[in-house]
């Protein structure tokens, strides 16, 4: 379908710019935080937290990144098909069919429960070829992983599974960023105890990993163990509000598509929730909740125009947002509008949008819709 004219067509002006160089600088900054012998597993699930997993994975090298972790088999397969040559860990959970497929594609399987371990064992036996796994223990998150009562049957299974290659044992923190929370220390103790139980029964792995972004920032990383880091690589604050001084990677922009002057007393947008209190310059921008710009930001966020903050007024629509640009000197049709990122001296962070819409920076970044084209710079 592509024609010579395609490259000259300018599609919608709403786009996301991904700074690969900033991402790689974040990779280096995270690596510099690690104790000796520790390596980075870059977590690129949910399409690299909305940034695009494939271009980011392609920018990584084995030298800097030991593994790439994703959640779904589909995500792992997409990286595999894109010829990413860094080992891929799928965090799961996987169905029986998916386990067989993962083994075939030499994707490293995060085993999250006793049923998965049984299937992995069967698949490995049938294939008579090594299946690499990382075994997850539930040290206190309460979601996935083996609990104490699963350990004896697990060791029994692994004792008779010569083709199952246990590369690592891992777990996941739930409160890593809060130094005053006693749970992180409890999780470490429980993990150590479970690893000890496995070892006494003859099951051990050359590698362990437990730390996410928050734990890495807080240096809760044992020398030699790997870290599974996502959010830090995107310059955001991590889930349990571990602050980071890393660079944002995503910049989300559009352009003013309609600019008008409305008299005092004019309602704007669905529900007429906003009414002008003065003669106002109202800019309409072609982006909406169908692009992942949260409806809950209705009347409750700023965008950047000409390096200045301007408030959103009225409701966020599916495809349109209205902005009061009365105080922006020289504002013109076609001006760049920044929804997320920096313009001049001002920045709108994912944390700011998350706070105003009652969610997490994670959800804001992952939520940027697939119909917003990504462009990559600095690669
Ligand atoms: C998402 C995820 C991570 C990464 O979390 P960040 O807070 O983004 O660093 C690590 N481990 C597991 C199991 C995850 O699901």
Asked whether the predicted pLDDT for residue 165 surpasses 70, the reply is yes
User: Are 262 and 125 in a shared domain?
Assistant: no
User: Are 73 and 202 in a shared domain?
Assistant: yes
Measuring CA to CA, which residue among 46, 30, 170 is closest to residue 108?
Answer: 170
Does residue 188 form part of some domain?
A: yes
Provide residues with CB under 6 Å of ligand 1. 43, 45, 91, 172, 212-213, 228-231, 238-239
> Band of the pLDDT at 7, cuts 50, 70, 90?
low
User: Are 308 and 162 in a shared domain?
Assistant: no
Active site residues: 45, 270
**Residue range 48-56: mean pLDDT, rounded:** 98
Asked whether the predicted pLDDT for residue 348 surpasses 80, the reply is yes
Instruction: Specify whether the CB–CB gap between 238 and 214 falls below 8 A.
Output: yes
Q: What CATH number corresponds to the domain at position 331?
A: 2.40.37.10
Residue 230 CA: nearest ligand 1 atom is 8
Q: How far is the C-alpha of 15 from the C-alpha of 73, rounded, in Å?
A: 28
Asked whether the predicted pLDDT for residue 20 surpasses 50, the reply is yes
Residue 43 CA: nearest ligand 1 atom is 4
**Residue range 282-287: mean pLDDT, rounded:** 98
Q: How far is the C-alpha of 245 from the C-alpha of 238, rounded, in Å?
A: 11
Q: How far is the C-alpha of 358 from the C-alpha of 360, rounded, in Å?
A: 7
Residue 243 confidence (pLDDT): 56
> Band of the pLDDT at 2, cuts 50, 70, 90?
very low
Residue 9 confidence (pLDDT): 65
Residue 239 CA: nearest ligand 1 atom is 7
Q: In the chain, how many domains are there?
A: 2
**Residue range 169-183: mean pLDDT, rounded:** 92
Asked whether the predicted pLDDT for residue 152 surpasses 80, the reply is yes
Could you report the per-residue pLDDT of 137-148, keeping only the tens digit for each?
Answer: 999 999 999 999
Q: For residues 8 and 339, which has the higher predicted lDDT (pLDDT)? A: 339
Could you report the per-residue pLDDT of 73-103, keeping only the tens digit for each?
Answer: 999 999 999 999 999 999 999 999 999 999 9
Could you report the per-residue pLDDT of 304-329, keeping only the tens digit for each?
Answer: 999 999 999 999 999 999 999 999 99
Does residue 354 form part of some domain?
A: no
**Residue range 322-347: mean pLDDT, rounded:** 97
Q: What CATH number corresponds to the domain at position 33?
A: 3.20.20.10
Q: How far is the C-alpha of 111 from the C-alpha of 137, rounded, in Å?
A: 9
**Which residues does residue 342 pair with via DSSP β-bridges, in sequence order?**
347
Is 283 exposed, middle or buried (CB count within 10 Å of its CB: 0-12, 13-18, 19+)?
A: buried
Q: Which two tokens stand for residue 211?
A: 């730390």
Angle at CA of residue 227, ends 195 and 20, nearest 5°: 160
Asked whether the predicted pLDDT for residue 1 surpasses 50, the reply is no
Q: Which of 205, 234, 263 is the last residue of a domain?
A: 234
User: Are 90 and 200 in a shared domain?
Assistant: yes
**Residue range 9-33: mean pLDDT, rounded:** 93
70 C-alpha to ligand 1 centroid (Å) = 9
Q: What is the mean pLDDT of the chain?
A: 94
Asked whether the predicted pLDDT for residue 356 surpasses 60, the reply is yes
119 C-alpha to ligand 1 centroid (Å) = 25
What pTM, to 2 d.p., does this model score? 0.95
Angle at CA of residue 360, ends 355 and 311, nearest 5°: 35
Beta-strand relationship, 267-268 and 274-275: antiparallel
224 C-alpha to ligand 1 centroid (Å) = 19
**Domain membership of residue 319 as a residue range:** 250-348
Residue 379 confidence (pLDDT): 79
Could you report the per-residue pLDDT of 229-280, keeping only the tens digit for each?
Answer: 999 999 987 655 555 668 999 999 999 999 999 999 999 999 999 999 999 9
Does residue 366 form part of some domain?
A: no
Report long-range pairs for 77-86 (Cβ below 8 Å, ≥24 apart): 77/101, 77/105, 77/107, 78/53, 78/54, 79/44, 79/53, 79/54, 80/105, 80/107, 82/54, 82/57, 82/58, 84/54, 84/57, 84/58, 86/57, 86/60, 86/61, 86/62
User: Are 194 and 321 in a shared domain?
Assistant: no
239 C-alpha to ligand 1 centroid (Å) = 9
> Band of the pLDDT at 8, cuts 50, 70, 90?
low
Does residue 367 form part of some domain?
A: no
Q: Which two tokens stand for residue 311?
A: 């408030």
């Amino acid at each position: 379908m592509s024609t010579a004219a395609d490259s000259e067509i300018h599609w919608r002006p709403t786009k996301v710019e991904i700074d690969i160089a900033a991402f790689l600088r974040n990779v280096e900054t995270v690596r510099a935080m690690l104790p000796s012998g520790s390596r980075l597993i870059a977590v690129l699930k949910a399409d690299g937290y909305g940034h695009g997993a494939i271009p980011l994975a392609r920018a990584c090298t084995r030298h800097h990144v030991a593994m790439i972790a994703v959640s779904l088999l589909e995500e792992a397969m997409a990286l595999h098909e894109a010829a990413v040559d860094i080992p891929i860990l799928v965090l799961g959970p996987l169905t029986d069919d998916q386990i067989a497929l993962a083994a075939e594609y030499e994707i490293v399987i995060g085993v999250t429960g006793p049923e998965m371990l049984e299937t992995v064992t069967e698949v490995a036996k049938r294939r008579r070829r090594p299946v690499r796994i990382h075994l997850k223990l539930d040290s206190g998150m309460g979601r996935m992983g083996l609990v104490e009562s699963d350990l004896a049957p697990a060791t029994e299974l692994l004792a008779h599974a010569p083709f199952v290659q246990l590369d690592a044992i891992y777990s996941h923190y739930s409160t890593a960023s809060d130094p005053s929370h006693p749970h992180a220390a409890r999780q470490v103790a429980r993990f150590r105890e479970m690893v000890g139980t496995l070892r006494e029964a003859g099951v051990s792995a050359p590698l362990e990993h437990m730390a996410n972004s928050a734990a890495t920032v807080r240096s809760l990383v044992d020398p030699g163990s790997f870290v599974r880091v996502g959010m830090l690589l995107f310059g955001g604050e991590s889930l349990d509000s571990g602050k980071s001084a890393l660079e944002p990677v995503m910049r989300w922009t559009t352009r003013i598509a309609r600019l008008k002057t409305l008299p005092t007393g004019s309602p704007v947008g669905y529900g007429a929730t906003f009414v002008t209190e003065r003669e106002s310059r109202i800019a309409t921008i072609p982006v909406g909740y169908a692009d992942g710009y949260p409806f809950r930001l209705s009347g409750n966020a700023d965008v950047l125009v000409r390096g200045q903050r301007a408030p959103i007024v009225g409701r966020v629509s599916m495809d349109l947002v209205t902005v009061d640009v009365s105080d922006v000197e020289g504002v013109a049709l076609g001006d760049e509008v920044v929804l997320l990122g920096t313009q001049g001296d001002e920045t709108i962070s994912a944390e700011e949008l998350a706070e105003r819409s009652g969610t997490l920076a994670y959800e804001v970044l992952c939520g940027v819709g697939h119909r917003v084209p990504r462009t990559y710079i600095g690669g």
